Every structure is written in structure tokens, then in C-alpha cells.
Amino acid sequence: GQRLDMNELTQRLALAGYQRTGTVMEPGEYAVRGGILDLFPPGRSNPVRLDFFGDTLEQMKAFDPETQRTGRIVQRLTLMPVSEVAFGATAEKLFRRGYVALFGAAISGDQLYEAVSAGQRYPGVEHWLPLFHERLETLFDYAPEAPLSFDHLAEEAVAERLALIEDHYKARVEGLEALKFGAPPYKPVPPSRLFFTPQEWADTLQGRLVRQLSPFEQAAPVGAAAARSIGGRTGRNFAAERSAENLNLFEVAARHVHTLQGQGKHVIVAAFTPGARERLAALLGDNKLGTARKVDSYAEAVTMPREVTALGVLGVEQGFETPHLAVIGEQDILGDRLVRPRRKARRAADVITEATSLAIGDFVVHADHGIGRFDGLTTITALAAPHDCLEISYAGGDKLYLPVENIELLSRYGAADGLVQLDRLGGAVWQTRKARLKQRLREIAGELIKIAALRQLRQAPAIEPPQRELEEFVARFPYDETEDQAASIHNVLDDLASGKPMDRLVCGDVGFGKTEVALRAAFTVALAGLQVAVVVPTTLLARQHLATFAHRFKGLPVRVAQASRLVVGKELNAVKAGLRDGSIDIVVGTHALLGKSIEFNRLGLVIVDEEQHFGVAHKERLKQMREDVHVLTLTATP
């Protein structure tokens, strides 16, 4: 309901460096369509759609730049400038005056000068930033009294950076870049207009409180007040204990904490995240750490009694010790944490995200009107305002003009040959097809509900993992769980504890962590005294899973074995006997595990990897197993 002049807002956006486009896709863009203003302010994850009625702003909603679909309502919007470069008549006048003073009168074809004079933004215009302002301010202008801290390499880094800037300037002045790369000649601004000179840098530091940090013991530099040593050294790393089979890593770490406290030191155990801090607190607490308390600051940690261990969130890769303080890092205890980059979720291939992805003649499906043919983009004037629309042809020569902001109503048609039957606008054929499909979906849903209801009537052992042992097992996982991975693990463990037979499918691309979900489930079941069968379609996959399971269960009272065509003779007979008498807890194998000669003593969980690669007979055998035991299926092929 806020009153806001839309024309004035668009003028302000232009002065702030925003570029007007047909469809907003990138930060710094805006588009106007009638009473709709789309804009993408820097710093936001998604653009915003402003809906005006006259001069009244009715609502603001975030929207997806790929699908153009609106989402949640935005209550407050802060508009940040796109660039440090100032725009408008005053800034353009300053630029022209400074440009002529530096480089002489502009010549015809000078794209930079012509673009700025026309009020347009030139790519890379920030290189001429000083010409748009009377003077450039620095961080020191905003924090004149702030003390400064530099590490021992800062002085060398500043000198190298200033030398590099000077080299680049000389190369551009001499035209070397145009000679080497074919780039057009470029008129550079002198470095003294953009950066500190060595003398200006020295003058800026003069009279300020400057601290220089060094990892080495050394005398105070000339002119410095004093040098202070905190007596620091690298802390203990538990790599040897991590590789030892018969040592409890967390008990050793707890003893080391007590040793440090006995030396009169405050001890801080530092984790990278609050979740990792919770895990370390539980693991160390179960192994005689003693009193520990979570802290949020250094001051809080050093004011506690020395016999109390502080647990903090601090991103240190390696711990250290001083005469009065010891910091033990998460990586010192658990080893390096490997962080996998998150992959962007894929969208369905048939979703149309922008009009430019369509070619004239493509067949499309409208959610309400059915199959039509895309005939191109056209501009329609409605209510005295132009609107960009997609022109879609239907049977009988009917036309539908769909505004580009409603493109999410379209999807691609599966076939592209000339035998496609177009629907008729307003006809009943499309609606009839949709109704039949909905009825078929209801029937399929009914069958699924019936199957699920029958499973709910069956009983299975309720299995819950021992928390202390599970935490230690989880600590062996050298990655941070993704959100989806953590959710899958939580759901699987809930299924095992429900008292009903689990039949869960975990679907994910290769390398997304499905095996870890299976490992947590197998650990839970094996420590409950039941057997686990891991069934895979190939011997290669069986060998890989065997190596993974054997490594993760090393040192635990769990026996892992393999049953495939690679295991023959006495060894295979021993595996069968171990499964029969219960001495083998986890077996990894191919379809040989589904044979009648394999008997389990107390089978509790079947893990099936890539079930779609098994034959009909093997799938029927798997269906029989589902009646009595928990089943977890892994696949990368939905």
C-alpha cells in the first residue's frame, strides 16, 4: 500500500547503475512491463517483482530468475548501488572534464567517452573510477582511530602489490597488451589516482597504533616500542593414535587435556561448527574428559576455572600452546575434514526457463490449453503499455498470446515431428485427457497406499543405535554431511526404530554419499546383534563395497565377509557356514547371496545397490525378503 512513483524509481535505478533489460536474469538488471517492475539488487540471492497499481505499490515478491515464477512475499527491500561509479549529470560532467585533462580531447570512436556521455554503462568502467569523483576515500577515512595488525609477510605483500600495479600501468601505456593479445588500445588512469603510493602508505601508517605479528622469536624492529613474545608453539596432533587399532582416540585426547590442565593451562577444544562442537563434547565426555562448558568468547574461556575445559567454535586448522593457554583443534583429533562442494540441483529438461530457449515451430504444452506451436515473440499493447508475449498457435488458426512473465505455464512437448495434433482453444479434448490422467494417477496412488497399509500390519525388530558407539563411528567419516544426506540418515534410523519393516529407497547421483547412509544403517543393525546382507549386481561393485565396509568397521566387534564368484572353494564354504551360525555380521556379495544355498542365522537388514540391474528371478527373491526384514535400496537411476 506504499505510494511510490514508479517512473522516479526507475530513474533512481538508472542512476545507481542498473541496466534495463527485457527479462531480469542477473544482479544489476531491471525490467518494466506495464505495472510490473522486476529488479535484481546486488546482495540478494533472488530478484524481486514489484506490483504497482498506479502510484501504489501493492506487493513485492521474490522470484526465480530461471523460471520467472514468483515465491514468498518480501516485506522490506534495500536497494544497493550496482557499482562504485557514480551516475547522473554531475558525475558525467566530472568524468568528461577529468578525461580531457588526462588524455586530451576525445576523438570519434572513443567508445568509453561516448557511452558515459550518453548515460550508458561501459564494461569495466570502474577502471576510470577517479574521474567520476572529486576524490576517492579509503577505509582509513571511515576508521581513523582503529589500530592495525599485520602479519610478518604484510610488508613484502604490499611492496609486491604496488610493483605489480606499476608494471600493469607501464604495459598498458606502452600498448604491450594490444600487441600481445589483440586487445584495443586502452587509456589507463595513473596508479596514484587509484591506489596508495608507497609514500602515502607510509604516511597513513605514521602515528597509528600498528601491531606486527610474527611466528618467529625476534627483537623489536627499529622504531618499534617493544617486542612481546607469547611463547607459543604448535600443539599436539593425534595422527598416530588415529591409525592405532587398539587405542581409544578420545580417551587419549581426554588424558592430554588433563595433562595440560595439570600444567596450569586453560584448555580450549575448538570445533569448526556448533554441530561439530556437540559431537566432540559427547565423544570426549564419554571418555572421562570431566567438566566441560560451551563458550562463545575468549574472555569467557580464560575466566573459567582451569579444571573446566572450554568448548568453542573456532576455525583453526591446527592447535597451539602458550605458557597459560592450550587450544586443541578439531582436526588435531579427528584429522582433516574434507568439504565437498555442493552441486547445483538440476532442473527437469522439459521446463522452459526463458523465451530465448525456444525456436520458432517448437511444440509446447500449456497447462490450461494443451498442445500448441510456438510462432515467436511479439509485442502487444494493452492498457496503453507494451507487453512482450509468446505467440502460440492452436488448431483452427486460434492464437494465444502469453506474457513472458507467465512462461512457467509452458513445458516442452516430448516429440518434435510433424504428426503432432494441436489442441483447440476452449475445446474439451485437453481437459478430458487431463481428467483421464488424473484418474489413472489416483488408481496408482491407491495401489501404493494399499501396499503401504499391508506393510504397516507386519512387525519387524525395533532397532536403535547405541549413541556413544554411533558417535565414534560417525567421527570416522571424513566429510561433512550434506543436508540431504543427513536427512536420509535420520529417516533411515527412524525407520529401523519404528518396529515396522523398512522399505526405503535412497536415490542420488554417483558421489553424493549413498554408501554412508547404508553404512550407518548397517552399523545400527549389526550392533543390535542382527546380520546385514549387502547385495550388488557386479563383482567389481562388491569388491569396492567390501573395501569400504571393512575400512569403516575396522577395530569394531563386527565381522565383514564377501560372497561372490571371486570367492571360491573353502573360503566360500566358510562364509556360508559363518552366515549360518551367525559368526559373520555383514556380508557383501552379488546375486549369489540370493541363492537357496545361503542361509542366514538372524538376518535383519538387506541393502540392495542398483536393483534395476538384477534379473526377474532375483527381484522376486528380493520381494520375498521384504516381507520379513528391513530393506534399504540405493540407486543412481530414478
Averages of pLDDT over each 10 residues, the chain, 638 residues? 82 82 87 88 90 86 87 87 80 88 82 81 83 88 88 89 89 63 69 90 86 76 68 86 80 90 92 86 82 90 90 89 91 73 45 63 87 87 78 90 84 69 84 87 81 72 84 84 89 90 85 88 92 88 90 88 82 89 91 80 87 63 64 82
pLDDT of residue 599: 85
**Dihedrals phi, psi of 592, to nearest 5 degrees:** -60, -30
Instruction: Evaluate whether 22 touches 388 at the Cβ level (below 8 Å).
Output: yes
| 315-348 burial code (b ≥16 CB/10 A, e <16) | ebeebbbeeebbbbbbbbbbbebeeeeeeeeeee
Cα gap 85→94, rounded to integer Å: 12
What pLDDT, on a 0 to 100 scale, did the predictor assign at position 453?
73
Q: What is the spatial distance between Cα 165 and Cα 191, in angstroms, rounded to a whole number?
A: 7
Q: Pick from 415, 397, 455: which is nearest to 626 by CA?
A: 455
Reduced to 3 states, what is the DSSP secondary structure of residue 51? strand
Give the Cβ contact number of residue 630 at 10 Å: 28
Residue 384 near residue 324, CB atoms below 8 Å: no
Q: According to the model, what pLDDT value does residue 451 have?
A: 66
Look at strands 586-589 and 560-563 and give their pairing.
Answer: parallel
Label the pairing between strands 325-329 and 233-234: unpaired
Contact 560, 553 (CB under 8 A): yes
- The answer for residues whose C-beta is within 8 angstroms of residue 107's C-beta and 6 or more apart is none
Grid coordinates representing 247?
A: 587405542
* Dist CA 146 CA 135 (whole Å): 22
Closest of 538, 593, 529, 591 to residue 561, by C-alpha: 593
DSSP 536: -
pLDDT at 479: 81
Task: Please tell me the distance from the alpha carbon of residue 469 to that of residue 556, in angstroms, as a whole number.
Answer: 10
pLDDT at residue number 40: 92
Question: CA-to-CA distance for 231 and 42, rounded, in angstroms?
Answer: 45
pLDDT at 627: 58
Q: What are phi and psi of 94, to 5 degrees?
A: -60, -40
CA atoms within 13 A on the CB side of 269: 31
| DSSP designation for 220 | P
What is the spatial distance between Cα 268 and Cα 425, in angstroms, rounded to a whole number?
71
Cβ neighbourhood burial of 603 (10 Å; 0-12, 13-18, 19+): buried
What does the DSSP 8-state code read for residue 482? P
Pairing of strands 603-609, 630-635: parallel
The strand ranges marked E within 338-409 are 363-366, 370-382, 385-393, 399-403
Angle at 368 between CA 365 and CA 374, to 5 degrees: 35
Cell 577444544, residue located: 269
Which grid cell is 42? 546486488
Quote the pLDDT of residue 405.
79
Alpha-carbon distance of 489 to 13, in angstroms, equals: 47
| C-beta of residue 337 within 8 angstroms of C-beta of residue 480 | yes
**What does DSSP say about strands 233-234 and 320-321: parallel, antiparallel, or unpaired?**
antiparallel
What whole-number distance in Å separates Cα of residue 313 and Cα of residue 273? Answer: 6
Domains defined along the chain, listed by start: 2-73 (3.30.2060.10), 140-229 (no CATH), 233-334 (3.40.50), 355-426 (2.40.10.170), 467-635 (3.40.50.300)
DSSP secondary structure of 297-356: SHHHHHTS-TTSEEEEE---SS-EE-SSEEEEEHHHHH-PPBPPPPPPPPPPTTB---GG
Check: CB of residue 119 under 8 Å from CB of residue 49: no
Q: What pLDDT was estimated at residue 259?
A: 92
- The candidate with the shortest Cα–Cα distance to 63, out of 52, 73, 53, is 73
* CB of 52 closer than 8 Å to CB of 6: yes
Residues 113-147 as b or e (16 or more Cβ within 10 Å = b): beebeeeebbeebebbbbbbeeeeeeeeeeeeeee
